[in-house]
Structure 1
Amino acid sequence: MRTSIATVCLSGGLVEKLHACAEAGFDGVEIMDADLIAAHESPEEIRALCDRLGLRIEMFQPFRDLEGVDDVTFADNLRRAEAKLEVMERLGTDLLLVCSNAGTATVGDDAVAARQLAALADLAAPRGIRIAYEALAWGRYVSDYRHAWRLVQLADRPNLGTCLDSFHILSRGHDPAGIEEIDGDRIFFLQLADAPALRMDVLSWSRHHRLFPGEGAFDLTGFLGHVLRAGYGGPLSLEVFNDTFRQTDVVRTAAHARRSLTWLADRTAARAGWTADRLEEPQPARGVDFVEIAGARLDEVDRVLDQLGFTFRGRHRSKPVRLWSAGEARLILNEQRQEEAPALTAIGLTVDDAAAAASRARALGAPSVFRRTYSGEQELPAVAAPDGTEVYWNDRPDDRSWIGEFVGGEEVARSLDGVVDHINLGYRWQDFDEAVLFASSVLSLTTESTEDVPGPVGLLRSQVMRTADGVVRVPINLAPAAAPAPARHVAIRCDDALAAARRARAAGLESLAVPDNYYDDLRARFGSSLDPALLDELRELGLFYDRDPSGEFLHFYSPIVGGVFVEIVERRGAYDGYGAASAPVRLAAQRPRPA
């Protein structure tokens, strides 16, 4: 699999982009005309840099508004093309992208369009340059890839082929199965982009909201399968116009982009039953092994866990970390980051094959994490997510795992008995899509649902990622653009949240200040079907409540310490949500009140 990326996907100047592409492991690049024009380096210098970096310049783009015009305009278009062909020779690339005419000064005459495309191909042929003709989704007369292919056939030039772009095809709802009817040798280039399902004009959708594969709503695995079955043998190239990616760190975004192509190739091969370009098989998580909180002021976290009824299981025999548990739920407090406020910094997952899970993660570009392990201690393979959160995998049962490395803890379990229900991770606006792709590609989680929650600093978007059986659930929260990342938290599911809240209150836990208006609204929403005695107890203990036809949800929160807090939840019946209706109240209650 050869990989490529259009320089338009990334922030910075052309030289910065090329270095980032090489560092990410791309084989080639599409150089956007605007990037070259803005660069101080000559085409020869860019060519030499790409040679040094091991990057092939796969294509030069774009050239627009060529075909379907009057003779005078076309003569000027050929003059423009001649200048670009000279630049391409200096760059050392042999493929020019020509987008279908989107202007108003054009005619819908296939014979004219084909004749003019043929003339451009004839102009390019003596230089050894090929032309890839692409149907833009908003092309004036040519907006369908099948129409573009008919024009290529009608022009009948060996150096004229077509470029297929997943966005232009899938955004218009065109059936990609027809790709298999195209001669694979005449598919000169392939551009890939995902996108969210939006209702808006296709040009704005394209220019601002494309995503890397695996982050949107398009069936790119099916699309790519059609292209490969047609016989295409060129690179898989990304062309993603996105306002966020053009502002974020260029090195990190390039690595993010490269991961998306690796994931897409693997998923496509898996669906088609091919053996080439396969990674290690995904290792579905069987459960949450532990959640780690690191930083300074961990004594405050100790106090909260003690008040909630967690059991202190002891200190590690060789590392400055300590373990608290509540039944099967385990929280590790790591003292090694004293310069930082407490934060949720690592997650451990139980899998069937930890080594295979880590190998797959590394193949997807996730860097390994090293922690010193002494003789007799379990070594857990781990990688770092793009934001630095560490992910560990454990394939040993509890009686043979790392748990026995903690000593000096309480002999008898205390009151709280539960499991990790979900782990809520907050991200800044520029890191959200990257986090979703990491969760799906590296952690093998699937998208469940998306909620938009109004909060005191703007609309918060929550995307739930989970295993099919729900034993691992990771809501990923996107902060509003001007807001910091939301605090992260771990939710512990128990059998009786009311009893847990009463015990925590008696132990001195500071309850979240939930306004009376919230409980008045519960009474209005549920009426007489909500037991008044239960409502009074919810109000007294500061619990939140939700209900749907499948069951009920009761939950409460600890105070935030640094950037982390704990939630205690109880699911009654088959309730499978997260209390989204109460989230705006919780966010407002957690915000520091003005003095």
Structure 2
Amino acid sequence: MTTMASATEPVKVPVSFASCSIGLPKHTLHQKIEALSQAGFEGIELSFPDLKSFAERHFNRNIADDDYVSLVEAGREVGKLVANHGLKIIVLQPFSNFEGWPKGSKEREDAFERARGWINIMEAVGTEMLQVGSTDSEGVTDSLSEIAADLAELADMLAAKGFKLAYENWCWATRASTWKEVWRIVQEANRQNIGLCLDTFQTAGGEWGDPTTESGRIETGAVTEQELDQRYRTSLQELVQTVPPEKIFFLQISDAYKVQPPLERKVDHSGLRPRGQWSHDCRPLPYDGGYLPIVGFVEAVLATGFRGWFSIEVFDGQFETKYGDDLFKFAKKAMEAHTKLLKEADIDTRTL
């Protein structure tokens, strides 16, 4: 793997935490923000469900997902709350199932209406970035060019406000499930304000891990463990060699538990594929029970020269067992994990 010249000082990056990734349903957004601020985080990813929950408390009534007037008003209060705790909202997320719908379809009309609403929310909360996950819908186009055109149109809508779009591969997606595919789409969209959201789970869990096997690794075909490791390393080398650091808008961090017994190779009652089920509540902090080769992925991202936001996005179904309802304990553990991961990856990157 090629890399930039070794630095003499330890690498430093700003660190964020996804609001959806801390606490239990009973915890408020305010409580989450307080814990993250006290633990030394500099930013948060604002998750739409947390904004909606805040709005319902604020107005003391149910709020519909498309009640953008109320969500915008609540969003202004969230923006103040976050700023008062010394944090920055780095992104609004997760914007999903947007791209690839047939021209003239109700789904496409709804997707663009939702985009306009979310852009208004972004303006209200004071963030400049929208995270878009690669679609996991059926019924969308197979053409990556048509998907790129949709994202270019969304990027232009965002650009009118000075905003940008971070496109993330979801490893269970129906289209663009790998970093390489979303990078191709970003290149084809060809807009200055569109780049990548990379994610340790989405790549390590998609290209190396598998929740449906006893080993927890991909076992399809005649691939050996050594061949799988080499294929993964080759993918990371390609990332270093092809993706410029300015096109990586942020990096999300999580690991994954090995699922025992393995998941069945079928969609669940909600239509979610195995890797989507795995993602839902089996993604702990680094060094907290997971097994994916995430350090190598972080090494590769650092080796591009990227020094932007690292953001922890975990979904740990064992949260209450491990941490009770102590948000600060969890946030402190997360910061310790970030520091350890960054040090380990940085040292290894220098010796590549």
TM-score of the aligned structures, taking structure 1 as reference length? 0.45
Matching of residue 227 in structure 1 with residue 301 in structure 2: yes
Matching of residue 178 in structure 1 with residue 210 in structure 2: no
Q: Which residue of 1 aligns with 2:64?
A: none
Distance in 1 separating the partners of 2:80 and 2:349: 39
Aligned-partner residue type, residue 47 of structure 1? G
Secondary structure of the residue aligned to 2:237 is helix
Moved more, 196-205 or 25-34: 196-205
> Identity of counterpart residues, as a percentage?
31
Task: Specify which of 79, 90, 97 is matched with residue 65 of structure 1.
Answer: 97
Q: Which residue of 2 aligns with 1:192?
A: 253
Q: Which residue of 2 aligns with 1:54?
A: 86
Aligned-partner residue type, residue 75 of structure 2? P
Aligned-partner residue type, residue 53 of structure 2? A
Secondary structure of the residue aligned to 1:131 is strand
What does residue range 133-532 of structure 1 map to in structure 2 within 5 Å?
133-172=167-206, 173=208, 174=232, 175-180=235-240, 181-198=242-259, 199-200=262-263, 201-215=274-288, 216-245=290-319, 248-273=325-350
Distance in 2 separating the partners of 1:10 and 1:197: 21
Contact 1:59 1:94 survives alignment (8 Å) = yes
Distance in 2 separating the partners of 1:135 and 1:167: 10
Distance in 1 separating the partners of 2:205 and 2:284: 13
Displacement of 1:272: 2.6
As a proportion of its length, which structure holds more strand?
Answer: 1
CA deviation map 1:453-507 (0-9, x unaligned): xxxxxxxxxxxxxxxxxxxxxxxxxxxxxxxxxxxxxxxxxxxxxxxxxxxxxxx
Matching of residue 19 in structure 1 with residue 30 in structure 2: no
Displacement of 1:89: 0.5
CA deviation map 1:293-328 (0-9, x unaligned): xxxxxxxxxxxxxxxxxxxxxxxxxxxxxxxxxxxx
Distance in 2 separating the partners of 1:32 and 1:176: 29
Gaps of 5+ in 1: 275-595
Displacement of 1:50: 1.4
Distance in 1 separating the partners of 2:189 and 2:128: 19
Distance in 1 separating the partners of 2:318 and 2:328: 14
Aligned-partner residue type, residue 20 of structure 2? V
What does residue range 525-544 of structure 1 map to in structure 2 within 5 Å?
none
Distance in 2 separating the partners of 1:214 and 1:271: 17
Change (3 A) 1:178 1:248: farther
Aligned-partner residue type, residue 344 of structure 2? R
CA deviation map 1:390-413 (0-9, x unaligned): xxxxxxxxxxxxxxxxxxxxxxxx
Q: Which residue of 1 aligns with 2:21?
A: 9
CA deviation map 1:184-222 (0-9, x unaligned): 111111101011333432112111111111232122222
Secondary structure of the residue aligned to 2:175 is coil
Distance in 1 separating the partners of 2:149 and 2:118: 20
Q: Which residue of 2 aligns with 1:105?
A: 139
Distance in 1 separating the partners of 2:251 and 2:102: 30
Q: Which residue of 2 aligns with 1:577?
A: none
More relative contact order in 1 or in 2 (CA 8 Å, sep 6+)?
2
Displacement of 1:74: 2.0
Distance in 2 separating the partners of 1:272 and 1:147: 25
Distance in 2 separating the partners of 1:168 and 1:192: 10
Displacement of 1:273: 3.5
Q: Which runs of 4+ in 1 moved over 6 A?
A: none
CA deviation map 1:320-343 (0-9, x unaligned): xxxxxxxxxxxxxxxxxxxxxxxx
Contact 2:239 2:300 survives alignment (8 Å) = yes
Contact 1:170 1:176 survives alignment (8 Å) = no
Displacement of 1:248: 3.5
Aligned-partner residue type, residue 204 of structure 1? Q
Contact 2:82 2:88 survives alignment (8 Å) = yes
Q: Which residue of 2 aligns with 1:476?
A: none
Change (3 A) 1:16 1:154: same
Aligned-partner residue type, residue 184 of structure 1? P
Distance in 2 separating the partners of 1:140 and 1:130: 24
CA deviation map 1:85-119 (0-9, x unaligned): 00000100001000111011212111110110000
Displacement of 1:142: 1.3
TM-align CA RMSD: 1.5
Contact 1:20 1:254 survives alignment (8 Å) = yes
Displacement of 1:263: 0.9
Displacement of 1:62: 0.6
Secondary structure of the residue aligned to 2:195 is strand
Aligned-partner residue type, residue 93 of structure 2? Q
Secondary structure of the residue aligned to 2:45 is strand
Task: Specify which of 141, 151, 154 is matched with residue 117 of structure 1.
Answer: 151
Distance in 2 separating the partners of 1:17 and 1:134: 24
Contact 2:199 2:251 survives alignment (8 Å) = yes
Secondary structure of the residue aligned to 1:29 is strand
Distance in 2 separating the partners of 1:178 and 1:197: 27
Secondary structure of the residue aligned to 2:315 is coil
Secondary structure of the residue aligned to 1:171 is helix
In terms of Rg, which structure is larger? 1
Displacement of 1:182: 0.7
Q: Which residue of 2 aligns with 1:85?
A: 119
Aligned-partner residue type, residue 261 of structure 1? H
Task: Specify which of 29, 33, 39 is matched with residue 44 of structure 2.
Answer: 29
Aligned-partner residue type, residue 205 of structure 1? W
